[in-house]
A and B are shown apart, each in its own frame.
Chain A
Amino acid sequence: MKKICLGVVGIVLTFFSGYAQTPQKDSATYKSRKLTFEEANLVSSYYKQDGSNAAVTGGKGSQKLNDISNTIDVKFIKWDRKNRKHSFELEVGLDHYTSASSDQVDLKANSSASHADTRIFPSVSWSMENEKNGTSIGAGLSTSTEFDYQSFGANINFSKKTNNRNGEFTAKAQAYIDKVSLIYPTELRAGGQNDEHYSTTARNSYSGSLSYSQIINQRLQLMFIADLISQKGLLSLPFYRVYFNDNSVHKENLPNTRMKIPLGFRANYFIGDKVILRSFYRFYNDDWGLTAHTLELETPVKVTPFFSIIPFYRYYKQTAVDYFASYKTHTSAEQYYTSNYDLSAFNSNFYGAGIKLTPPKGVFGIQQLNMLELRYGHYTRTNGLKSDIVSMNLKFK
């Protein structure tokens, strides 16, 4: 995977080195009608977790998981005859994971096909900004493919700035039309343990989002976000086991609809000349009985104009859904049941730090390599799950 990462960096550098000899235009006066390269980003992450409440084995068992993720996005811009700015963005992502719990779809296998999977998720988006009247519109398409899951997404958005350009209202609508493969635990398959003919079923998500951002003064700006998300279809996972108190084993069963209401608030404040306080709070409630609070704080410190240190902390707290119970505590009288600890009551803490380099002559002297950011975070959940993540962002301009 390390070779793949280095290979990807090499390809991106080779591709954009062609722009190195492009004459620099005065960006304040010149607006190109031709499609021009704006920037590209490569984001790579390594994630690992461990815990002892795997949902595949009914809330008891290893949650060991390793995931390597790479995403590349490329942005191009052009101005039309009415002086409107068009932005085009193409993104391709690739995840590869190995998971101890997914391997337990077949309890007798030492290592089954489900122990690893690869997901590929390309997307395209377009937006048009009219600086004169302060409006912008946009649209996007996305897809995501993995062995047991296929997703197609579409979104549209509209923004309008206030007359004094200190506030902006944004409306966004999204739809995801997904297909879940019905892969059951081997002992619960109607056609016997070797039945590998999987049918599919629908899981669709629709969301509307409204947000408003406001500049308060020369150092402070805020944003309010309200989402409404409706999900329909198979919202449980067919290979998650639930053990009842009578020792019988069942597939997870959850309602076919879910309505979620998250409300978010962001505030960024520039303290002095070197420190910024970035904050985010979210209240969340849904009709499965889950209520959650999220608080994030991040304080980038500009050690020099080209080097920043960015410590961060995130606190999260949720109540359990109405249908959650632990291993062997559900009863046959219940209509809906799950032993997935991601839906149990817990608190979590996530903390770490990052560094950001933006040297004027490019990172490592490479002019096109505009920015390098590295970030590490450690996550702990009160029910024992722990994880670590290290990420890197390279920006080419």
Chain B
Amino acid sequence: MKLVKPKPEINILAGVAVSVVAILSSCTTVKEYQKNKLNDGEMTLSSRKIQKTESSFQSYREGASGANGGKTGGGCGCN
């Protein structure tokens, strides 16, 4: 019987899924008064405003885009 070897992407995604389950299961409830570090400006779960042009040229010079909270269309980049 011939064994089908899983694609590397599937292995990576499976690894990520296992890690996510492990991390989420270790969650503790953090009260508002305990969030001084989480509320720091550098802890924001998004790109910096200063990265606007960087993100724009990366989406033009590379085939992949999206999943980073930015725009997913509009603008040509045709040069």
Contacts and interface: CB of A to CB of B under 8 A. Distances in A.
Interface in A134-190: 142, 144, 146, 148-149, 151, 153, 164-166, 174, 176, 178, 180
Nearest to B57: A47
B24 to A, nearest CB: 7
Interface in A213-227: 213-219, 221-227
B74 interface: yes
A151 B76 CA distance: 9
A143 to B, nearest CB: 8
Nearest to B59: A342
Contacts of A79: none
B48 interface: yes
B78 A148 contact: yes
Contacts of A222: 20, 23, 45
A43 B50 contact: yes
Interface string B13-34: 1001000100110111110101
A90 interface: no
Contacts of B65: 229, 260, 262, 284
A41 B49 contact: yes
Contact of B71 (A153, A218, A294): A153
Interface residues of A, number: 99
B67 A262 contact: yes
Contacts of A127: none
Contacts of B53: 43, 45, 47, 67, 69, 389, 391
Contacts of A262: 64-68
Interface string B51-79: 11110111011111111110111111011
A284 B61 contact: no
A393 interface: yes
Contacts of A178: 73-74
Most buried by A among B12, B38, B49, B76: B76
Given A217-B28, A264-B67, A149 B78 contact: yes
**5 smallest A-B Cβ distances: which pairs?**
A205-B73, A264-B67, A262-B67, A176-B73, A45-B53
29 contacts: A43-B52, A49-B61, A71-B52, A119-B75, A121-B74, A146-B75, A151-B73, A166-B27, A174-B72, A176-B71, A205-B73, A209-B67, A215-B38, A217-B30, A218-B38, A229-B72, A229-B73, A270-B43, A282-B67, A282-B68, A283-B12, A283-B13, A302-B42, A308-B42, A316-B62, A387-B57, A391-B53, A391-B54, A393-B48
